[in-house]
Structure 1
């Protein structure tokens, strides 16, 4: 595993650590009078290495730090123990709240905080909020601003990857009781994804990293080759929540259930994202989603799923960072 190497070369410090996952703190370095009172939790996907979010100097964390925010990166999974402990989506949501949201609210002395969620990180965040709203109608008030990037839970149209994932889900569902304490190799998931992705798209992905320069290309290659196991139980839960048709709501996706009218929402979509196709993450303005929030904004830009791991795209990164800093 290359985690120690990549994080050692960043300014990240361990905020929380156990046998299952880390939380990395990226402290802002701006003057004290410019520091934001709310932190930003970066809730990343469980399906790849968290150091991909910070291995170049033009990443989202850098831009958010410059606006005066401390950033806390959820780094899901680091040892084989994580894949063998029966981690479910519920346990991921528990960890997000118990180890990040709750202690940070207390530490910063605020009533609510911000979340930037990438890919499956958005699903975990939505799941936590929806689950807790069933028990506490005011739970969403713990969040001020939510931003999602490439999260496959907002769109309402079909996508190629969904067919491959649902085929896997249906085939493996009968074996779940026997496999809930095991893990799935990222290599196996890559093969699954490649079934619904053309060679042209895969070639384009690597071409973009090649054009970004040898340093970025070599780091992306290391990221791809650094295998790990994803918890089987959590992965199956994620497939069910993100892709399985809901009875009577087959055309809808993972909307919020409950009162989220205090939350300001920002949706980022890469129009060349071949892992989470735009159709899976674009919000239709005439859908119920924008009306749920205190405010809603959406930016569709000419990037892919791993823009956070590439230099460039400064305008969209700056736009997100400024959005977090604006308003009360």
Structure 2
């Protein structure tokens, strides 16, 4: 009878642990609804030369969705115009957020000088709506730039290795190369790919490999990182340094932080160590102001459900990282080191 009671007790404990763990993961889930992007510029991209319909806003929304889905606890839904109208009319759920991008500036240049020089500067306005009230919860500007030079002098002789210059290969030249590659072989793969006929608007196939689209992607990545800055607990990724590890040494300092797998962290992520400076002001409405500053960067080396082990990457020599310091990272954007302040 006693072994049965012990087994029942163990089973109950395991069940409760699983239940609490499931609740923790469920509470970490977030839902982001993407409203149709708006384009206030004349910049358009066609689906193809056979289907001259603008698809720029659709491609922007799809790329933002792919970035947000990198968070394993974020559910992303793309709404069409009808779905967006229903959402604003009241078909909402408290706790969700809706995001809409507004493209308001595109500066794209292209020059042909022994090749092509492409440069673009893209600016978006990102609006975040509360799922409960349907009102604007946050609004910010996101921007992205990129430039690229592709060498293309327009002379195949600079690209191709012609077998006629090598007598040893004369037999191959006569019998094989002349029939298959009459101009030679592009061994270095320097020939630019054929993007097809130029249209009044670039097609998606032509546009997707340009520096201009990379500038769009950089702006959208900036927007994704900004979404995690919403003043809402479900989107904040902030923890605290609580203890050093047993393996920590002065040359390799390791700490335990209060963020883990359920916070969508992954091994290799870089988090910023932040400390707040408190200032007493003369403003009666804001008597105390806390200004955060980055004092170091740490890298995740081991993951647990609610905690992680991190190793110190760098810190300010006159203001070293300490226990109880805050650590933060973007929930959706790239988790990378920040300059020390």
Higher strand share: 2
Taking structure 1 as the reference length, what is the TM-score of the superposition?
A: 0.26
Higher helix share: 1
User: Relative contact order, CA 8 A, sep 6+: which one is greater?
Assistant: 1
State the structure with more CA Rg: 2
Taking structure 2 as the reference length, what is the TM-score of the superposition?
A: 0.25
